Amino acid sequence: MKSAVEQLSTYKSVHLNPSNITTHFFGVPLIVWSAFLALNLIPVNFIVLDSPYLNINIATIIAVLSLVYYFVLHAKLAVGLALFMVPVLLSSAWIAQYDGAGYIAIVTFVVGWIIQFVGHKYEKAKPAFIDDLNQLLIGPFFLMAEVYFKMGLEQALLAEITPLARDKRRAIEAAKK
């Protein structure tokens, strides 16, 4: 498994433009939320301990697996992601109970991706997931890192990934020529 530094520097290499990063703060949460809404629409619940109060569905399982992955990558960033994930799970589960939830999931998903691709027009670089599908999981991780960096946290991580990202970007641009 690639390290947090490797994952973040790869993602950041195509997310150096501040306008692109800003669009991702809107697009990525919309995509994540819509994906969890869609997962909440899958009618599968696992009853835990034969209790009607402890149901686990596909959305919860995916959230827990994602958080385990993030904790393995970087525990401090994963704490922030857990704080983000709880309201995403709760609000998407709530909306999933209503008629039209599937339509809301699709529209939100499409809008999120449109915002993402607009951002990459500013960046003049293709999205990171084009070359590595795992980068789809890194989007929320990257944004949480950006939040930490703006709060003055994890500055050593920022200092480590930024030069690597710039080197990777130069290599990408040199390969185009």
Report which secondary-structure segment, H or E, holds 45: strand 45-47
Which pLDDT does position 48 carry in this prediction? 58
Which pLDDT does position 8 carry in this prediction? 96
Average pLDDT over residues 76-85: 97
Report the chain's terminal Cα–Cα distance, integer Å: 31
Bridge partner residues of 55 (DSSP): 47
Which pLDDT does position 121 carry in this prediction? 87
Q: How far is CA 4 from CA 12, 46, 82, 158, in A?
A: 12, 32, 17, 11
Which pLDDT does position 50 carry in this prediction? 59
Could you give phi then psi for residue 121, rounded to 5 degrees? -70, -40
Could you tell me how many helices (H) and strands (E) the chain has, helices first? 7, 2
Tokens describing residue 168: 């990777």
Whether 128 shows a pLDDT value over 80: the answer reads no
Whether 54 shows a pLDDT value over 60: the answer reads no
> Running DSSP on this structure, what letter comes out for residue 130?
G
CA 26, CA 160: separation in Å to the nearest integer?
A: 26
- Mind listing the pLDDT tens digit for each residue in 129-160? 777 677 789 999 999 999 999 999 999 999 99
- Within 8 A by CB and 6+ apart from 140, the residues are 28, 29, 32, 81, 84
- Residue 104: Cβ within 10 Å count: 17
CA 125, CA 101: separation in Å to the nearest integer?
A: 33
Which pLDDT does position 133 carry in this prediction? 73
Which pLDDT does position 29 carry in this prediction? 97
Considering only CA atoms, give the Rg of the chain: 17
Which pLDDT does position 129 carry in this prediction? 75
pTM of the model: 0.89
Percent of the chain residues topping a pLDDT of 70 = 93
